[in-house]
Amino acid sequence: MSWLPELFDDHGAAPWVLVHSQQQFLCDELGALLPQAFWRSRGAASLLEVPLGQWRGERVLLVELDAPDHSLGQWQAVRQLMFSATGDEFSLYRYATQIGLWARQHRFCGSCGAPTQLLGYERGAHCPHCRLTQYPRLSPSIITLITRGDEVLLGRAPHFPPGMYSTLAGFVEPGESLEACLKREVREEVGVELGATRYLASQNWPMPHSLMVGFFAEYASGEIRVQEEELEDARWFALDQLPHLPPRQTISRYLIDTYLLERGRLVEPVLPG
């Protein structure tokens, strides 16, 4: 899969389109990747169009709409597609979601307010008036599995599906290291102190433009005190009595499954793309 812009003047050169708005995609019975000829036949107006690059050797055009138009067909949220798509398909949807949001939010210069132009040689929105170029945004965040022997500390946010618990996460503040962010977020959300930490893996996450950096963290001290603004519950779970967990496309599940494997459980962690 090539994420170079692969820009081209004639939009007809792209056989495929992704039609996106507000973290949702227009879909048919096969998914969100639609033939461009089919899309053009609908005659709908787009807010902007952005060449994405190549997927499986063929060019893909991102069509961004002002709002989801349900008269065009069925729409699915990128979170829904996460559960049904294969790994490389979800990587495509994830990338398109972030590029669509960036292109929508940078149609005008953040410095002088003039209209921007998408560059033809790199992924940038350039202001011809003040010459500021704005690039796609990434917001680093930590995500950590807190361990205590054969127990793990998991939390539950109000928006989670019923019964699901997950690892703790939070955004990095200006001036913070990843390790400092990890310890601060855990202290704020559940009130415990951490000992040794270990980096494991990362995942790009399109809600809306995060780079999730995954750690193991050993419990050091303290009793759980839930930060009610962030979580509705947090507790220790024995490894043989785990609750409903996040799906296997997520780095949270990868952290949990990897720790289970390290503790002798027969699982196969799936490294998220």
DSSP letter assigned to residue 31: B
How many angstroms separate the Cα of 162 from the Cα of each of 25, 229, 246? 25, 18, 11
Q: Which two three-digit tokens encode residue 147?
A: 């361990």
Do the annotations mark residue 223 as ligand-binding?
no
* Residue 42 labeled ligand binder: no
Gap between the Cα atoms of 94 and 209, Å rounded:
9
Q: Tell whether residue 127 is among the known ligand binding residues.
A: yes
Cα dihedral: 207, 229, 147, 218 (round 10)? 100
Burial bucket for residue 167 (CB in 10 Å: 0-12, 13-18, 19+): buried
Does 230 carry a binding-site annotation?
yes
How far CA 122 is from CA of 53, 68, 101, 102, 115, in Å, comes to 11, 28, 17, 14, 18
The CA-based angle 146-229-220, given to 5 degrees, is 25
Q: Is the dihedral of CA 61, 63, 64, 67 positive or negative?
A: negative
Residue 181 annotated as binding site? no
Residue 137 annotated as binding site:
no
Which residues of the chain form beta strands (DSSP E)?
A: 16-21, 24-27, 34-35, 48-55, 58-64, 74-77, 117-118, 125-126, 133-134, 139-148, 151-156, 168-171, 193-205, 210-221, 233-238
Phi, psi at residue 113, to the nearest 5°? Answer: 90, 0
49 labelled as ligand-binding? no
User: Which position has the token pair 């196969």?
Assistant: 268
> Is position 27 annotated in a ligand binding site?
no
Q: Which residues are annotated as a binding site for Zn(2+)?
A: 109, 112, 127, 130
Specify binding-site residues for substrate: 79, 122, 135
**What residues form the annotated binding site for a divalent metal cation?**
169, 185, 189, 230
Instruction: Output the known binding site.
Output: 79, 109, 112, 122, 127, 130, 135, 169, 185, 189, 230
